[in-house]
Amino acid sequence: MANRKRITNSNMDPDGWNTCVLGRKYYGNIDPKTEMPDGLGIMKLNSDHLYVGEFQQGRRHGRGFLLGLEDHSHTEQYFQRYSYEQVMSTAEFDSCGRVVHTGPSGEWKTELVEDFRYVKEQDGLWENDALVSEIDDSILKQQPWTDYELISSGIGYHDKAKMEYTYQTPLSSLEPGGVLNVNRSPYFVTSYGDDGLLVLTNSDKQMPFILKMDGKPYFSSFIKDNHLPCHFFALNKLGNDYVLRPELCVPQKNNTVLPSLKPFWKEAGWTDQSDEERILTVKLKDLDEALKHCNLCRDTLTVLYPDKSDYWFKSSAELMWNFGIKEKVESNIERHGGYMIDEWQFVDERQSPMDLRSKVKFTPE
């Protein structure tokens, strides 16, 4: 028998995630001081179970649920054809050399298909790694939830062609087990308080997120093929118009977000939420304001400073001390989930090592 392993309802690859200080695979928010999972995330507990939801200093604490692997393995039959040579080796010919009979052209074989699917378990409130109160999915089949739909929309690229999409999925179509099929892709959803929804999509390296009724959309993006596919998720009341903003799709040049995207981020309240690197140029006198709105775990700053002899032949490290900005830069990194590991080295919120001097560069005006 031939074997084929597959998980049919998820693209997640937990083994590809980083290993947190607890020794487990984890993808999500980290406390920069303790390096513990803290906030929303997803953790591989063992070979068969993931925990999705809120953490507090490494412990499952808050709203969350388990995803367990359910075995739907089965056998399938398929017909394997013999090669031409095999078939002809059984041929019988008449006196003129014509084939008048052959043996079977192939044979039926049985294949074991290892078919695993994630199912939601132990959905509710957690305290110190223990489930203390279960919450029934059926609440989402009642008002006011049945008056809402989950919007998944954005712009992507395929072979350099721009594609716009918007999928509108009523919460009333929720299936048993808290599964909402969005364009044939299963999302795991559960309630979060009286007006929120905790969502895990089908994508790998997509953190769980929370949507609020009539609240801001959740925005995610990543650079692919030199473009910025943008994805928005939102709760929308049925009957309300939902319009995809065309300016969400902005080509990238040298990893710099073009200006036309920035007004939307500001308007939507997501100015600092993109995961993509921006290369920003700012004058020294405006540096304090720039540090309020950039993320040096992701962005790179080029600082324009006065071309004076006092600053000639100075290194980036010396200029950072001269201008009194090193502590401000460190504060920016810590504010965005990173932390310093020595005078100049730090790790970002995803535990990737970086050098401070590579994130703040200096150029004379």
Residue-wise DSSP of 165-188: EEEEEEGGGPBTTTEEEETTEEEE
Are both 174 and 245 inside the same structural domain?
Answer: yes
- Domain count of the fold of the chain: 3
* 127 shares a domain with 36: yes
Distance CA 80, CA 87 (A): 12
User: pLDDT class for 97, splitting at 50, 70, 90?
Assistant: confident
Looking at the predicted structure, is the pLDDT value of residue 104 above 60? Answer: yes
Q: How confident is the model at residue 292 (pLDDT cuts 50, 70, 90)?
A: confident
Together in a domain, 250 and 123? no
Contact yes or no for 53/126 (Cβ under 8 A): yes
If asked whether residues 96 and 35 sit together in one domain, one would say yes
**What confidence score (pLDDT) does residue 55 get?**
94
Last residue of a domain, one of 228, 246, 273: 273
pLDDT band for position 43 (cuts 50, 70, 90):
very high
Tell me, yes or no, whether 156 and 258 share the same domain.
yes
Same domain (yes/no): 82, 209? no
Residue ending a domain, choose from 273, 295, 328 = 273
Q: 267-285, pLDDT tens digit by residue?
A: 333 333 344 567 778 888 8
Q: Which residues pair with 162 in a beta bridge?
A: 157
Residue ending a domain, among 109, 135, 161, is 135
Does residue 130 sit in the same domain as residue 143? no
The CA–CA distances, whole Å, from 322 to 318, 325, 327 equal 6, 8, 12
pLDDT classification of 239: cutoffs 50, 70, 90: confident
pLDDT band at 130 (very low <50, low <70, confident <90, very high): very high
- The answer to whether residue 57 scores a pLDDT higher than 90 is yes
For residue 305, the enclosing domain spans 279-364
Co-location of 61 and 152 in the same domain:
no
How much is the average pLDDT of 106-134?
88
Distances (CA, A) of 212 to 22, 196, 209, 215, 234: 31, 4, 10, 5, 8
Percentage of the chain exceeding pLDDT 90: 15
Q: Which of 69, 12, 11, 8 is nearest to 41 (CA)?
A: 12
For residue 102, the 8-state DSSP code is: -
Helix (H) / strand (E) containing 149: strand 148-158
Euclidean distance between CA atoms 39 and 60, whole angstroms: 10
- CA pair distance 2, 275, nearest whole angstrom: 42
Q: Which range has the worst mean pLDDT, 1-5, 120-124, 140-144?
A: 1-5
Distance CA 259, CA 199 (A): 31
Same domain membership, residue 148 and residue 161: yes
- Are 226 and 337 within one domain? no
Are 8 and 104 part of one and the same domain?
Answer: yes
Highest-scoring range by mean pLDDT, 23-37, 111-125, 293-307, 340-354: 23-37
Do 119 and 156 sit in the same domain of this protein? no
